[in-house]
Amino acid sequence: MREIIDYAGLFPPADLALDTAIRNYADYKKGDDAWMLSRFIIPASRLEELSPYAGELFSEQTPFTFSVLGKATQTMSDFNNALEDVEKACRPFCEAHGGSVGTDMLEMKLPKEAAFSHDIDLLQQLMDQTAGRLSRHKNTPKIIFYEGFFDESWKKDIEAILKAISNHNESVNSGNANYQYAGFKIRCGGVEADLFPSAEQVAFVLEKAREHNVAIKGTAGLHHPVRHYADSVQTKMHGFFNVFGGAMLGYAHNLNADELDEILNEEDADQFSFTDEAFSWKNYSIRTEDIQSLREVALLSFGSCSFDEPREDLKKLNLF
């Protein structure tokens, strides 16, 4: 769980004002549970609104790291324009505040023109060009997570995207300090029931991401450890034990999508266990040292508009 939660207080259902959200983040960073906290998520277009907090909330002694969001787009041309907007926002913000801030991660939906193309070469070309732009300057994001869609042809769409990311990462110049790699962002929910992917869809992503050696980060709908029915959205919400724990066990035991689906559908918290040595679900276990390795390169973090709800649930389960 170390540095696993990207704080997304600006987004629904919390939907907080910027002042409230950034002050919450500053308080969380000083709290006893700061070890669980990672980046602050913010649209790139709003970075400059944070400048008044320089010196008060973030400084070289207490730097803040941000994952910035680019705009959703339809066409590849629009995507390139949105990427240019990200550059124009990140560079002056970082230059103005020196070692006090970092915008090392970018999250962007693929343009629908590319996401639904099933064209691996086209997708890789977009990713290679994006890497080329991001690698030109030290004050632009070094890691990008691309988001796809669960549409009618979702299996074909997602597999093409993951294969393109894998090919891109293999071909990218690893010697460039200004760009590292691309990953895949999986949206696990939202404010309405139809925004929650099925366990089958999540299992497919986890299996194929492992197969193609693509890093994953999550967003939305992962406030709670274990899958459960939520009256607020009238559907079952995925749990972060199920998603991240299942993905880790998938790596340890080479689990297929059907086996992952069973873990993702688990609603009994007692089936999950932790010791100093391992995390387990039923008869499957993964060692702590293997978890640490996976968290660094394969299963990074998930965005949550609440930093309190995950911790409160862990306390109820006597795991925190």
Mean local confidence (pLDDT), 241-257: 97
pLDDT in tens, 13-58: 999 999 999 999 999 999 999 999 999 999 999 999 999 999 999 9
Element spanning 315, H or E? helix 308-316
pLDDT in tens, 2-19: 999 999 999 999 999 999
What percent of the chain stands above pLDDT 70?
Answer: 99
DSSP state of 62: S
Domain carrying residue 11: 5-316
Element spanning 278, H or E? strand 278-281
Mean local confidence (pLDDT), 260-277: 95
Q: From 2, 19, 21, select the one nearest 10 (Cα to Cα).
A: 21
Report the CATH number that the domain containing residue 203 is assigned in CATH: 3.20.20.70
* Contacts with 140 (C-beta within 8 Å, 6 or more apart), sequence order: 86, 87, 90, 91, 103, 106, 133, 134, 178
For β-strands 64-69 and 37-43, DSSP reports them as: parallel
Q: How much is the pLDDT for 174?
A: 67
Q: CA–CA separation, 238 vs 284, rounded Å?
A: 20
Alpha-carbon distances of 39 from 188, 294, 304, rounded to whole Å: 19, 18, 11
Q: How much is the pLDDT for 176?
A: 79
Cis preceding-peptide flag for 92 (omega within 30 of 0): no
Q: Are 208 and 202 contacting, i.e. CB atoms less than 8 angstroms apart?
A: no
Q: CA–CA separation, 273 vs 285, rounded Å?
A: 9
* Contacts with 280 (C-beta within 8 Å, 6 or more apart), sequence order: 272, 273, 274, 286
Q: How much is the pLDDT for 42?
A: 98
DSSP state of 161: H
Q: How many domains does the chain have?
A: 1
pLDDT in tens, 124-165: 999 999 999 999 999 999 999 999 999 999 999 999 999 999
Q: Which residue reads 């400059």 in tokens? A: 48
pLDDT in tens, 207-246: 999 999 999 999 998 989 999 999 999 999 999 999 999 9
Query: What pTM, to 2 d.p., does this model score?
Result: 0.97
Return the sign of the alpha-carbon dihedral for residues 72, 301, 216, 281. negative
